[in-house]
């Protein structure tokens, strides 16, 4: 489903990814772990073709992303759902409208929208919240809306960028159950996370990236000792800042 | 079709949300179009006047005293034909002159019918082939007996032509500056709406909306600003120029014996120019403001 073949991506001053080769099969559930700045974001951005690799080839759903023209990028992204740590819901739209929006902008017929949006909301357990606005919902509910939006177009791949980062442990675990459910319906999931508990509990494939290289790829554990996990948390403020500038960069359309 | 309506609806919503900035940019662009129209009006009128006088440019007219006989005039004609730089010379009677005069006054020609006598003199018209010789020929003509005056338009026409050219060049320079300023004004206005909707746009991109789909509403918003400005400027020009023609049109006619360009004709032509300018300024402005945004 997703294949990296000797992929290298460098930024001006540091390395994003360094000669990475990895294969993620259809129906996989993969955790992407590692310290901040290790290259997890780069990995995700390369899949979405928000960034273009300097060397190597990336294949997503049988298509060579590295050689893709800008014109084809929207088509690629229609096959990938994405969920963020900060939900990114539109505050002036209701829950229903937020989810329907994802279908409207890719010209889905009204009939399909009327059918699929309630389905997605029901699956996420928030059908009763359809007419509410995002700021009337709890964080967990907002993330459910975001997931509903990500899956409403039935993408083959779902990318979750620290989806539980803003949630308390119980809510986070609920969200994980939902993702697991989506995965069992056949969607490939790539989840970037720092949450040790969750990774250990889920017992899925874990890819650890450090300094732009894959240092570990095995089923099971988060792998870092508590100490390291804690130290990453210490850096989280910096990481969040960094990520925010990154996102601001994306919004401005720049490349960092 | 559905997409088209979506785009149109979004554009109007954005325009409404960003009303004050939209109005400010409409105001700015209207002003720039008005300055432009002022220059165009000057240019067109001076040009028209110059064109009508241009016919006299390559001729010298020797007005004769009433007692001068056609035979004497014929001597002058023959003499002039001998001169260097003269292509033709002929005798023009006062009746011919009157007929020509009437023709030039066009619809108002009937006014001349009220005259008891034809006040125009007989004349000898000398066509000049070599303009360098014009001054010498005029001086030569002054020496004939039985003439009233030698009329020679060179300096007037020269001045008019210079003025035309000057106005033409200034209009082009001014136009370029004004267009650049307008594009910047529009692109800044659109940028504001783009920032207001940056979250929405980033989600649209992630979900896989095409760039043109994202750009559409902003493009329409820009064009809307441009077209509204054009219509406003056109209306103001129509009212002002109409007034001007009403007030000084007759004087201009008497001074230059050529009418001012009529309002209807002017507005009809301006309409196309203004709309084209408005649409291109609007669309350029919005595409520029979006460009950075969509390059990811």
Q: Which residues of A touch B207 (CB under 8 A)?
A: 77-78, 101-102, 105-106, 149, 153
Mean pLDDT over B150-172 rounds to 76
3-state secondary structure chain A: CEEEEEEEEECCCCEEEEEEEEEECCCCEEEEECCCCCCHHHHHHHHHCCCCCCEEEEEECCEECCCCCHHHHHHHHCCEEEEECCCCCCCCCCHHHHHHHHHHCCCCCHHHHHHHHHHHHHHCCCHHHCCCCHHHCCHHHHHHHHHHHHHCCCCCEEEEECCCCCCCHHHHHHHHHHHHHHHHCCCEEEEECCCHHHHHHHCEEEEEEECCEEEEEEEECCCCCHHHHHHHHHCHHHHHHHHHHHHHHHHHCCCC
For residue B181, give Cα distances in angstroms to B176, B222, B276, B285. Answer: 9, 14, 16, 10
Kindly report, residue by residue over A181-233, the tens digit of the pLDDT: 999 999 999 999 988 889 998 889 999 999 899 998 988 777 765 434 444 44
Mean pLDDT over B26-54 rounds to 80
Q: Which range in A202-211, B64-73, B206-215 is most confidently predicted, on average pLDDT? A: A202-211
DSSP H or E stretch at residue B284: helix B263-294
Q: Sign (positive/negative) of CA torsion A58, A63, A64, A69?
A: negative
Mean pLDDT over B72-76 rounds to 84
Q: Give the chain A residue nearest B292 (alpha carbons).
A: A253
Chain position carrying tokens 């002039």: B80
Phi, psi torsion values for A16, nearest 5 degrees: -90, -60
* Residues in Cβ contact with A175 at an 8 Å cutoff, skipping those fewer than 6 apart: A140, A143, A144, A147, A163, A164, A167
Give the number of A-B residue pairs with CB atoms closer than 8 Å.
61
Q: Which of A84, A89, A252, A255 to mutate to test the interface with B (most CBs of B within 10 A)?
A: A252
Q: Is the pLDDT of residue A255 over 60?
A: no
Token duo for residue B129: 């082939």
* pLDDT for position B201: 86
How much is the mean pLDDT over chain A? 86
Measured at the CA of A56, the angle between CA A53 and CA A58, to 5 degrees, comes to 70
In this predicted structure, which of A3-12, A71-80, A214-223 has the lowest mean pLDDT?
A214-223
How much is the mean pLDDT over chain B? 81
* pLDDT for position A46: 93
Q: Which residues of A touch B211 (CB under 8 A)?
A: 70, 74
**Are the beta carbons of B199 and A76 separated by less than 8 Å?**
no
Kindly report, residue by residue over A36-46, the tens digit of the pLDDT: 888 898 999 99
* pLDDT for position A226: 46
**What residues pair up with A32 in beta bridges, in sequence order?**
A192, A207
3-state secondary structure of B66: coil
Mean pLDDT over A121-146 rounds to 94
* pLDDT for position A232: 47
Burial environment of residue B31 by CB neighbours within 10 A (0 to 12, 13 to 18, 19 or more)? middle
Q: Which residues of A touch B288 (CB under 8 A)?
A: none
* pLDDT for position A244: 60
**Are the beta carbons of B208 and A90 separated by less than 8 Å?**
no
Give the pLDDT band (50/70/90) at residue B231.
very high
Percent of chain A with pLDDT over 70: 87
Q: Which residues of B touch A247 (CB under 8 A)?
A: 202
* Spatial separation of the C-alpha atoms in residues A62 and B285, rounded to whole Å: 39
Token duo for residue B236: 């103001």
**Are the beta carbons of A90 and B209 separated by less than 8 Å?**
no
Give the pLDDT band (50/70/90) at residue B94.
confident
- Higher-pLDDT residue of B189 and B280 is B280
Round the CA-based radius of gyration of chain A to a whole number and report it.
18
Mean pLDDT over B86-100 rounds to 83
DSSP H or E stretch at residue B123: strand B123-128
Q: Give the chain A residue nearest B1 (alpha carbons).
A: A107
- Higher-pLDDT residue of B184 and B119 is B184
Give the pLDDT band (50/70/90) at residue A242.
low
Token duo for residue B192: 């504001």
* Spatial separation of the C-alpha atoms in residues B182 and A53, rounded to whole Å: 39
* Helix, strand, coil in percent for chain B, rounding step 5: 80, 10, 15
In this predicted structure, which of A140-144, A199-203, B62-66 has the lowest mean pLDDT?
B62-66
Q: Which range in A177-181, B95-99, B279-283 is most confidently predicted, on average pLDDT? A: A177-181
* pLDDT for position A230: 42
**Are the beta carbons of A254 and B292 separated by less than 8 Å?**
yes
Numbered residues of chain B with Cβ closer than 8 Å to any chain A Cβ: 2-3, 6, 198-211, 213, 292-296
Give the pLDDT band (50/70/90) at residue B88.
confident
* pLDDT for position A59: 94
Mean pLDDT over B140-155 rounds to 79
ipTM of predicted assembly, 2 dp = 0.75
Mean pLDDT over B50-62 rounds to 71
Is-above-0.80 flag for pTM? no
Mean pLDDT over A79-95 rounds to 90
Percent of chain B with pLDDT over 90: 5
Q: Which residues of A touch B6 (CB under 8 A)?
A: 104
Mean pLDDT over A94-107 rounds to 91
Mean pLDDT over B168-175 rounds to 83
Mean pLDDT over A72-77 rounds to 90
């Amino acid at each position: 489903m997703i294949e990296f073949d000797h992929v290298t991506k460098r930024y001006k001053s540091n390395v994003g990814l360094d000669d990475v080769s990895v294969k993620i099969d259809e129906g996989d559930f993969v955790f992407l772990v590692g310290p901040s700045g290790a290259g997890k974001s780069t990995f995700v951005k390369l899949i979405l073709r928000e960034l273009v690799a300097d060397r190597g080839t990336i294949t997503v759903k049988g298509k060579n992303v590295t050689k893709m023209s800008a014109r084809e990028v929207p088509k690629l992204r229609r096959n990938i759902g994405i969920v963020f740590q900060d939900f990114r819901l539109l505050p002036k739209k209701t829950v229903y409208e937020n989810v329907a929006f994802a279908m409207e902008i890719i010209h889905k017929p009204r009939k399909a929208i009327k059918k699929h949006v309630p389905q997605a909301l029901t699956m996420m357990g928030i059908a009763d919240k359809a007419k509410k606005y995002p700021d009337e919902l709890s964080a967990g509910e907002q993330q459910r809306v975001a997931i509903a939006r990500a899956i409403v177009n039935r993408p083959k791949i779902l990318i979750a960028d620290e989806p539980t980062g803003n949630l308390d442990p119980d809510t986070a675990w609920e969200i994980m159950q939902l993702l697991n459910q989506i995965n069992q319906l056949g969607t490939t999931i790539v989840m970037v996370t720092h949450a040790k508990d969750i990774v250990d509990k889920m017992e899925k494939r874990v890819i650890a990236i450090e300094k732009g290289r894959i240092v570990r790829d095995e089923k099971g554990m988060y792998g870092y000792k508590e100490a390291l996990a804690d130290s990453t948390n210490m850096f989280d403020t910096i990481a969040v800042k960094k990520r925010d500038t990154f996102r601001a960069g994306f919004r401005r359309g720049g490349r960092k | 079709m559905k997409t088209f309506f979506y785009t149109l609806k979004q554009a109007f919503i954005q325009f409404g949300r960003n009303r004050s900035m939209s109005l400010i940019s409409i105001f700015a662009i209207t002003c720039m179009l008005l300055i432009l129209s002022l220059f165009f009006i000057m240019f067109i009128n001076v040009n028209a006047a110059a064109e009508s006088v241009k016919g006299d440019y390559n001729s010298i007219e020797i007005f004769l005293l009433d007692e001068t006989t056609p035979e004497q005039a014929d001597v002058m004609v023959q003499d002039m034909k001998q001169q260097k730089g003269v292509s033709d010379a002929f005798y023009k009677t006062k009746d011919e002159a009157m007929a020509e005069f009437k023709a030039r006054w066009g619809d108002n020609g009937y006014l001349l019918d009220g005259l008891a006598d034809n006040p125009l003199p007989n004349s000898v018209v000398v066509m000049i082939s070599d303009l360098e010789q014009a001054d010498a020929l005029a001086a030569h003509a002054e020496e004939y007996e039985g003439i009233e005056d030698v009329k020679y338009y060179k300096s007037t026409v020269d001045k008019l032509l210079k003025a035309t050219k000057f106005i033409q060049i200034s209009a082009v320079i001014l136009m370029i500056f004004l267009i650049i300023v307008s594009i910047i004004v529009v692109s800044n206005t659109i940028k504001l709406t783009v920032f207001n909707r940056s979250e929405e746009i980033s989600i649209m991109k992630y979900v896989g909306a095409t760039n043109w789909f994202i750009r559409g509403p902003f493009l329409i918003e820009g064009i809307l600003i441009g077209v509204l400005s054009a219509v406003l400027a056109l209306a103001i020009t129509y009212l002002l120029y109409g007034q001007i023609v009403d007030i000084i049109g007759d004087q201009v006619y008497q001074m230059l014996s050529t009418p001012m360009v009529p309002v209807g004709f002017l507005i009809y032509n301006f309409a196309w120019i203004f709309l084209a300018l408005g649409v291109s300024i609007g669309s350029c402005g919005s595409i520029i403001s979006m460009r950075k945004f969509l390059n990811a």
